[in-house]
Amino acid sequence: MTYQFVTQWRLQAPVAHVWEEIYHAENWPSWWKGVLAVETLIVGNPNGIGDAKRYTWRSVLPYKLTFDMTLVEKIPHRRLVGKAYGELEGTGTWAFEEKDGITYVRYDWQVRTTRWWMNLVAPIARPFFEWNHDVVMEWGRKALEKRLAAIQS
């Protein structure tokens, strides 16, 4: 089953601070409630292209998801694009823009589930999976907002 999610955050912080927190995903488990683990699998080129990480997520619904993501595009303070493989497959794109001290973040997640049971129940469970995704992303926004406030004070 294929999903297209768009998450938008508005954060009162410089884009450089927001970028650092998002780019360094290995730190996410320390502040993002939904992230159980981020493990580096491959170190790419000096710019980070080719870096591969394994992400394990938890959610409100009683299941975990694990997938690998390889960084395929990086424009500092503007854009990150990764390709996902595993229990989720697809593309995730972070876009950043700063205006008047506010950083606008957009995450586009075009993904398909590969777990048989998720695909089996998707016709009925799809709205719950979508709600679940939104909750996990909101956990991230709230935690990042709090973390950025601490950095700036």
Pairing type for strands 64-75 and 88-99 reads: unpaired
Task: Say what the pLDDT of residue 119 is.
Answer: 85
32-65: burial string, b at 16+ Cβ within 10 Å, e else = bbbbeebeeeeeeeeeeeebbbebbbebeeeeeb
Task: Say what the pLDDT of residue 151 is.
Answer: 84
Task: Say what the pLDDT of residue 13 is.
Answer: 96
76 CB burial (10 A radius; 0-12, 13-18, 19+): middle
Per residue in 53-67, pLDDT (tens digit) is: 999 999 999 999 999
Measured in degrees and rounded to the nearest 5, phi and psi for residue 37 equal -155, 145
Task: Say what the pLDDT of residue 122 is.
Answer: 87
Distance from C-alpha of 1 to C-alpha of 30, rounded to nearest angstrom: 31
Q: Which two tokens stand for residue 74?
A: 């990086």
Per residue in 24-64, pLDDT (tens digit) is: 999 999 999 999 999 999 999 999 999 999 999 999 999 99
CATH of domain 2-152: 3.30.530.20
Low-confidence ranges of the chain (pLDDT < 50): none
Domain boundaries, the chain: 2-152
